[in-house]
A and B are shown apart, each in its own frame.
Chain A
Amino acid sequence: MSVQGEDTRVLIGSSSATSNEIDEINNASMKHSGNLVELSHFGDTYKTRGAGLKDVTYSLKGFWDPADTNGQVVLRSAFIAGSDLWLTILPDGSTGWKQQVLVDSFDISAAVDGYAEFSAELAGNGALGGST
């Protein structure tokens, strides 16, 4: 059965034992990469590949909320400190993934005819785990 986007939950914590929901997020994506290594050699007629280092990157977008001190502000503070966080993404609200991450970038912008917006890019820092 398909999962509605509105059910998605994104949580962040400064340790694996803590996690708080990030408020005002309306778009989250994660990208798994196997960094495949091409192993083709003379005599092959089709490309062959081997698995490389596995990696996951994340993109979060939403409305900027400076009052979300356990969520969005934690992301910005971790960027400043260069500290690791634990990100949990639950597409259906209860089942998903958890991984130690670093904040690669964050962006905040606003225009007079809209609402202040927030986005952040995160990168995995180790193995991806499941979360329920």
Chain B
Amino acid sequence: MAIQGPDIKVKVAGTPVAFSSAATASTGDQNYALTAALAGQPWDAWATVSLLVGGVATTDTYDVNRLLGQIEFSTAAVRVVTVSGSYLPMSQAASAKSYAYSGAANLLPDTVFNSSWVTRSPGLKDLSGTLGQFWADRSFSTMLGSTVYHPTIIEIYDDAGSTRGHRFWAQLGTVDVEAALDGLVEETVGWECRPDADHRVAAFST
């Protein structure tokens, strides 16, 4: 079913906040996520993430999924996992009014002799987008010039009732502010994807 514009919500990550030995809970599979106030918060793109299982270092194989803020073990087991790292508090972009994101596969022709039809292979993938809003403050301009947001997260909810949106590691590339005599001041933020320390660029909610 088509989604009406007014039902959409966009969140943007704030400044990283450190947490230490935070409790986690299994999400019903081999993944463990933070609980209580930290539940569902993404983690910083680069900050060190360390964990203990039963209070000691683990030899179990695991991945850190920073976009979803969870530890993903390769095998199932009952564990008591605590994590230390930095999370990114997400807050709604209250003045947002439009968004767009694009994926490009940059397909590479690989046609060989004795072919009559073009064949291709996927090339280097890319994600980029824009966020349009009524200008409210200098926060995006500050983010563009700061080394703290390297990158930040832009989260797009298909509807306001969703528990989680599509999350992108977004390196801000442009911030355009435009004012006209007969209109409201508007701002357009352009971003391009930048993989985090674990090589992820996006987490889609569907």
Contact with B along A63-85 (1 / 0, CB 8 A): 11111010001001001101000
Question: Smallest Cβ distance from A55 to chain B, in angstroms?
Answer: 4
Any B CB within 8 A of the CB of A103:
yes
Q: Is B1 an interface residue (CB 8 A)?
A: yes
- A107 touches which of B102, B119, B132 (Cβ 8 Å): B102
A5 at the interface (CB under 8 A from B): no
Flag whether B138 is at the interface (Cβ < 8 A): no
A116 with B104: CB separation less than 8 A? no
Question: Which 7 residue pairs across A and B have the least CB separation, nearest first?
Answer: A82-B122, A109-B100, A63-B2, A55-B118, A111-B98, A66-B206, A116-B3
Q: Evaluate contact between A66 and B158: CB separation under 8 angstroms.
A: yes
Please tell me if A1 contacts chain B, counting CB pairs below 8 Å.
no
B135 within 8 A of A: no
Chain A residue nearest in CB terms to B205 = A66
Q: Which of A8-16, A87-95, A122-130 contacts B (4 or more CB under 8 A)?
A: A122-130
Q: 9 additional contacts, CB 8 Å, given A102-B107, A109-B101, A127-B116? A: A53-B116, A64-B158, A69-B206, A103-B105, A109-B99, A109-B100, A112-B97, A124-B118, A126-B119
Q: How many A-B residue pairs have CB under 8 A?
A: 109
Alpha-carbon separation in the docked complex, A79 to B205 (Å) = 16
Binding site for A on B (CB under 8 A): 1-6, 8, 97-105, 107, 111, 115-122, 125, 132, 158, 202, 204-206
**What residues on B are CB-neighbors of A36 within 8 Å?**
none
The number of residues on chain A lying at the interface, defined by a beta carbon within 8 Å of a beta carbon of chain B, is 37
- The distance in angstroms between the C-alpha atoms of A16 and B8, with both chains bound, is 36
**Complex contact B3–A82 (CB within 8 A):** no
- Residues of B close to A24: CB separation below 8 A: 1-2
User: Does A104 touch B at the CB level, under 8 Å?
Assistant: yes
Q: Which of B2, B118, B125 contacts A53 (CB 8 A)?
A: B118
Asked if residues B119 and A125 are in contact (CB atoms below 8 Å), the reply is yes
Min CB distance B143 to A, Å, is: 22
Bound state CA distance, A24 and B100, in angstroms? 18
Query: Chain B residue with minimal CB distance to A79?
Result: B103
* Nearest-CB residue, chain B, relative to A127: B117
Q: Does A105 contact B (CB under 8 A)?
A: yes
Q: Name the CB-closest residue of A to B158.
A: A66
Give A64 to B3 CA distance when docked, in angstroms: 7
A53 touches B111 (CB 8 A): yes
Complex CA gap A55/B107 in Å reads 13
A114 at interface, CB cutoff 8 A = yes
